[in-house]
Amino acid sequence: MNFRDMVEVKICGLTRREDAETAVAAGASYLGVILAPGGKRTISQARAAEVTGGLHARRVGVFVNAGADEAMRAGEAAGLDVLQLHGAEVPETAARLRDAGWTVWKAVHPRDAAEFEQAVRIWDGAVDALLLDGWSPDAPGGTGAQFPWAEVAAVRDSLRGETRLVAAGGLRPDNVARAVHLLRPHVVDVSSGVETAPGVKDPSLIHAFVAAALGGPEPT
């Protein structure tokens, strides 16, 4: 089977119900909300439930350095399916969450192939998915920064077993097909690349992104 036939799409940083509905209608499999405090797209647990509840997609909550108990309480209140750890969390935290029945994604910010391989050594098998985001001094995520795709692609197969790969950071409708071609991710994750302002999604960009990720032409 062509790897592109298996890729899924996550629209993250959702703050409005209409954007979540558009994402599902376009074919996104995951809806992401930011529950870490202080971000441009941060919403409350109650608001997250309103934005994503009842839609035919899996719901992902983004946390930064939250304790396991805090993340689980928030996940239950927001109606989440996946807890995405986007800070300096340790494998023991992920283990507690997985033991409690949660699906856990861990975000890392590799600046070269060596940093990706180091992350694989720490997290492969310890989480359900490793999410690759661009490094930025400004924020843990949502900055539009890219990680070095070609360098990571060269060592992508060091990630083995059941751990899935999620590609994020700087993705847009005009480059996501290339990211899928190079990195063979299980999921592509976009936030700022489909926005007109932080937390405000553009329906045409959402549809274009999903179409390019799932069925766009292979880069030449």
12 is catalytic: yes
* pLDDT value, residue 190: 97
Q: ∠ CA(99), CA(53), CA(129), 5° rounding? A: 40
Which fold does the domain 3-215 belong to in CATH?
TIM Barrel (3.20.20)
The residue-averaged pLDDT of 109-131 equals 96
Q: What is the pLDDT of residues 98-111, one digit of tens each?
A: 999 999 999 999 99
Residue 1, pLDDT > 60, answer: no
Q: What is the pLDDT of residues 72-101, one digit of tens each?
A: 999 999 999 999 999 999 999 999 999 999
* pLDDT band at residue 29 using 50, 70 and 90 as cut-offs: very high
Give the up-direction half-sphere exposure of residue 114: CA atoms within 13 A in the CB hemisphere.
Answer: 0
Give the predicted TM-score (pTM) of the model: 0.93
Domain boundaries, the chain: 3-215
Catalytic residue flag (residue 133) = yes
Catalytic residue among 112, 133, 138, 202: 133
Whether 104 and 80 have beta carbons less than 8 Å apart is answered as no
